[in-house]
Amino acid sequence: EEKMMEINDDVILSFLKRRHYKQLQPLAALIDMDGTLYDSMGNHADAWHRLATELGITATREEFFMYEGRTGASTLNILFNRAYGRDATSEEIEQFYARKALYFTQMPSVKPMPGAMQMLDFFKEVNMRRVLVTGSGQRSLIDRLERDFPGAFTPDMMVTSRDVKCGKPHPEPFIKAMEMARVRPSQAIAIENAPLGVKSAFDAGAFTVAVTTGPIPREELVKAGAAIVFDSMPQCAEMLPQLVFKMFSLSIS
Ligand code: MG
């Protein structure tokens, strides 16, 4: 059972100081997809782990949660450097990423995260623009958004792997999302579940809300720049009204 918590003013004030902002004016929510809107991270980790095992590369299932946000090529290079001391060739990347993507589609169907719709509804109620910010190019999931979260993201409010040169942890995806929403960094909240995504959002200047929806310890999310960490998406959805109110009301003189 989730218990109601009080958000400490210092969550906002220390972020303002760290970023040298005088105040925040949350007008846009920049929202990650895998592990935030969908419970898809276990499947991604299983698919990567299966591939690594077949290639004879030692890997734990858990490490793939830490790589979340990286491109497929980048994850393959980590594995190849460990096993063979070199990057994967472009042929290897094409072949093995296709195999990983195939394994992902063969896994049990992923479900919308509990609390995700409630969160999206809240942002709508308070007239905050909603932008999807995903490193994914996995169309099977992106194409489901309209069915699972009707009206939440219009096509001009989505950043996917096709829209950026540099993926997370580079700040480009969140900077692009701010441009789409026509907001400054101090006017954006990011919602993320992975350290590399948190780093990307923090470096872009957004107030970053992290949610632990997998095995990643909360300290990793704090280290990456999260202003606040919630234990679940339902808790995040429940606490957002209080958080957004405090963001609007506190300032540094
Ligand atoms: Mg994620």
pLDDT at res. 3: 58
Residues near ion ligand 1 (Cβ under 5 Å)? 32, 34-35, 193-194
Q: What pLDDT score does 211 carry?
A: 98
Alpha helix segments (H runs only) across 137-211: 139-142, 145-148, 172-181, 195-203
Instruction: Show Cβ contacts of residue 108 under 8 Å, excluding neighbours closer than 6 positions.
Output: 43
pLDDT, greater one: 30 or 164: 30
CA distance 44 to 104: 6
Q: Is 80 in contact with 88 (CB distance < 8 Å)? A: yes
Residue 50 alpha carbon to ligand 1 centre in Å: 20
What are the beta bridge partners of residue 112? 38
| 196-223 mean pLDDT | 96
**For the whole model, what pTM was predicted?**
0.91
pLDDT digits (tens, 9 = 90+) for 93-130: 999 999 999 999 999 989 999 999 999 999 999 999 99
Give the Å distance between the CA of 197 and the centre of ligand 1.
Answer: 7
How much is the pLDDT for 5? Answer: 85
Q: How far is CA 192 from CA 15, 88, 206, 209, 239, in A?
A: 17, 29, 11, 6, 15
Cβ count near 215 (within 10 Å): 12
* pLDDT tens-digit map of 19-51: 999 999 999 999 999 999 999 999 999 999 999
Hey, what's the torsion of the CAs at 200, 205, 207, 213, to 10 degrees?
0
